[in-house]
Structure 1
Amino acid sequence: MKKKYLGIVYIVISAFCFALMNMFVRLSGDLPFVQKSFFRNLVALVFALIILKKEGVWFSGKKGNIKYLVLRSIAGTLGIFCNYYAIDRLVLADASMLNKMSPFFAIVFSYILLKEKIKPVQAVIVVTAFLGSLLIIKPTTAIFQSPAALIGLLGGLGAGIAYTFVRVLGEKGERAPFVVFVFSSFSCLVSLGFMVFDYHPMSGMQLVYLLLAGLSAAGGQFSITAAYFQAPAREISVYDYSQIIFSALLGFMVFGQIPDALSWAGYLVICSMAVLMFIYNHRVHGEKTANERIGDS
């Protein structure tokens, strides 16, 4: 149960960090999405390298994990590229909604790859939380008509698959910093390949914003990796929707955006579902503990 609580804490921290990342990416202005992605992962790469050298722990040595590391890196890079592409070409709210499909995809692929059972109550709570996010984002019909929107949805799919492979690697004994290191290295190399042909000069302030975006992303990446190491996606992914709340607060403080009535209704739905998930998990754990005690007696 302690690991489950840690997973919740980590995923809320990651949500705040990713909200900061989106804010800094928006502040960085008109730059190629691949260039933004490079700086986002470069900072994470440096942090991962420092932690690995400090702890003296690298690859676990399990050859079977290599394919999962590669698949996690491919899916994660695809998710980042598609998300940044969508942010540059869609209404920011629409792009955010598509990216918030990632927890849903994480649950689906956890069921497919890990055979983690999804109980009806948990499914209803996650779906309701997602519907609450629609109240906040109020997506337009452009999502279903624009190629950029389809790419944004692909980004949510990529992120969901990536988080599932993170869970697989955690169960197979791979250390979180090494998973982040491999993913960040892969993404940076792919980004560099594109930047050779399409690099845009940046102002000093744009560079600062991108470095801050990378720093925020590093915090989010390490936190969400730790979260899925601690608990199954079906039990903690709903808390990732707290990013919408953090984004609303940052939007008000930085851009002067004030949420409307529908948005506030969405916040209420999401927070309520998070509380219900917490109560449900606590209750189920309590019943299991009681049954175990009866069995022991």
Structure 2
Amino acid sequence: MFTPRAQNPGLAVGFMLTACAFIAASTLMAKLAGTARLGDPLHPLQVSHGRFLFAWILIASTAAAMRLRFERPNLRLHALRTLGGWVGISLMFAAVTYIPMADATAISFLNPVFAMILAIPLLGEKVGPIRWSAAAIALLGALILLRPTPASFQPAALLALGAALAMGIEITIIKLLSRHEGPLQILFINNSFGLIIATVAVLPFWVMPTPAQWAALAGVGVFMACAQAAYVNAMARAEASFVVPFAYATLIFAALFDVIVFRTRPDAISALGATIIIAGATLLAWREARLEKRQPATVPR
């Protein structure tokens, strides 16, 4: 029988930051595969298929090695979560082929706001004024990084916005699933469903990748699988309304990869946005620490 993870906000934050680094690395690989750097650009749906294919290989191997036993999976929730994740990641991969990684990530990271709002009616979570304020601060930092101008309202920006909504729905469903199912079971079922959806969707667009593109597609899948493992563990150890805003740190990793790979150096506005995001996350951590001290030591949170 599945036993829910003990609540540990500090460990949840560590898992979330690890997931952020892997998500940014996966997006970087997707951008390389979807642009002309490694050969003729691959269609976003083929990049999405590569993400599910190689992630499934890694997760299925892990499940087999650990002799995973399924414990009453909620297939309806899994299907909804997978659909949201596939739509979100496909739109995100399409967006990054047209605009910088940091900009696409900034727009897509409106998803914690959607997830926080959905967590109230669907998860029964209570969000106090400090958490609302911290989320608003982090969102302000994302908007600064985005540099909202008339040029931002282009199809690629709308693709990233759609990705944010789809990922916000996925985040909420992950939290529901983590209450009753283990992380490995969630990951295996999600990626199995996702691989089926992605395979059907890519058939009209599939072409033979170059060796370098195969390597990039493998990186997309492996890095995303690692990110998922860290993400699910984070969601299982703290309330969604607390841990999700820390995902804004992906913006920082994306900006770093922009500098290293694409020689796009952040300016003062980028630094200001990143600082504000960190300030919001720090406020959340401080608030959670104070709440933790008020709880009896024997009561897990």
TM-score (norm 2): 0.89
**Residue type at the aligned position of 1:265:** L
Change (3 A) 1:34 1:181: same
How far is 1:227 from its partner?
Answer: 1.0
Does the alignment pair 1:36 with 2:51?
no
Q: Deviations over 1:106-165 (max 9, x none)?
A: 111111211111111101101111111222231333444x44433321211111111111
Does the alignment pair 1:207 with 2:218?
no
- Partners in 1 of 2:62 and 2:263 — Cα distance? 38
Change (3 A) 1:254 1:147: closer
Does the alignment pair 1:182 with 2:182?
no
Q: Which moved more, 1:147-156 or 1:99-108?
A: 147-156
Q: Which residue of 2 aligns with 1:237?
A: 244
Aligned match of 1:168 in 157, 167, 176?
176
How far is 1:85 from its partner?
Answer: 2.2
Percent of counterpart pairs with the same letter?
Answer: 26
- Partners in 1 of 2:62 and 2:102 — Cα distance? 35
Between the two proteins, the alignment pairs up a number of residues equal to 287
Detail structure 1 runs of 4+ shifted over 6 Å in the superposition.
none
How far is 1:36 from its partner?
Answer: 0.1
- Partners in 2 of 1:93 and 1:242 — Cα distance? 11
- Partners in 2 of 1:77 and 1:58 — Cα distance? 25
How far is 1:92 from its partner?
Answer: 4.1
Q: Which moved more, 1:186-195 or 1:19-28?
A: 186-195
Change (3 A) 1:210 1:93: same
Query: Which secondary structure does the structure 1 equivalent of 2:181 belong to?
Result: coil
- Partners in 1 of 2:248 and 2:104 — Cα distance? 14
Contact 1:17–1:219 under 8 Å retained in 2: yes
- Partners in 2 of 1:192 and 1:237 — Cα distance? 30
Contact 1:114–1:168 under 8 Å retained in 2: yes
Query: Which secondary structure does the structure 2 equivalent of 1:230 belong to?
Result: coil
Q: Which sections of structure 2, spanning at least 5 residues, go unmatched?
A: 1-5, 36-40
Q: Which residue of 2 aligns with 1:15?
A: 20
**Residue type at the aligned position of 1:60:** E
Aligned match of 1:6 in 7, 11, 28?
11
Q: Which moved more, 1:114-123 or 1:127-136?
A: 127-136
How far is 1:44 from its partner?
Answer: 1.6
How far is 1:218 from its partner?
Answer: 1.1
TM-score (norm 1): 0.90
| Residue correspondence of structure 1 range 183-198 to structure 2 within 5 A | 183-198=190-205
**Residue type at the aligned position of 1:224:** Y
Contact 2:105–2:250 under 8 Å retained in 1: no
Aligned match of 1:80 in 85, 89, 95?
89
Q: Which residue of 2 aligns with 1:295?
A: none
Aligned match of 1:127 in 119, 128, 136?
136
**Residue type at the aligned position of 2:115:** A
Contact 1:7–1:236 under 8 Å retained in 2: yes
Query: Which secondary structure does the structure 1 equivalent of 2:8 belong to?
Result: helix
Aligned match of 1:151 in 155, 159, 165?
159
Aligned match of 2:105 in 92, 96, 102?
96
Q: Deviations over 1:253-289 (max 9, x none)?
A: 2222211001111121111222211111111221234
**Residue type at the aligned position of 2:251:** I
Q: Deviations over 1:143-195 (max 9, x none)?
A: 44x44433321211111111111110111x21111211222122221221122
Q: Which sections of structure 1, spanning at least 5 residues, go unmatched?
A: 293-297
Query: Which secondary structure does the structure 1 equivalent of 2:205 belong to?
Result: coil
- Partners in 1 of 2:186 and 2:151 — Cα distance? 36
Query: Which secondary structure does the structure 1 equivalent of 2:264 belong to?
Result: coil
Query: Which secondary structure does the structure 2 equivalent of 1:56 belong to?
Result: coil
Contact 2:8–2:238 under 8 Å retained in 1: yes
Change (3 A) 1:93 1:267: closer
| Residue correspondence of structure 1 range 52-63 to structure 2 within 5 A | 52-61=63-72
Query: Which secondary structure does the structure 2 equivalent of 1:116 belong to?
Result: coil
- RMSD of equivalent CA atoms: 1.9
**Residue type at the aligned position of 1:226:** N
Q: Deviations over 1:82-110 (max 9, x none)?
A: 21222234454442222111111111111
Does the alignment pair 1:139 with 2:148?
yes
Q: Deviations over 1:215-236 (max 9, x none)?
A: 1111111111111111111111
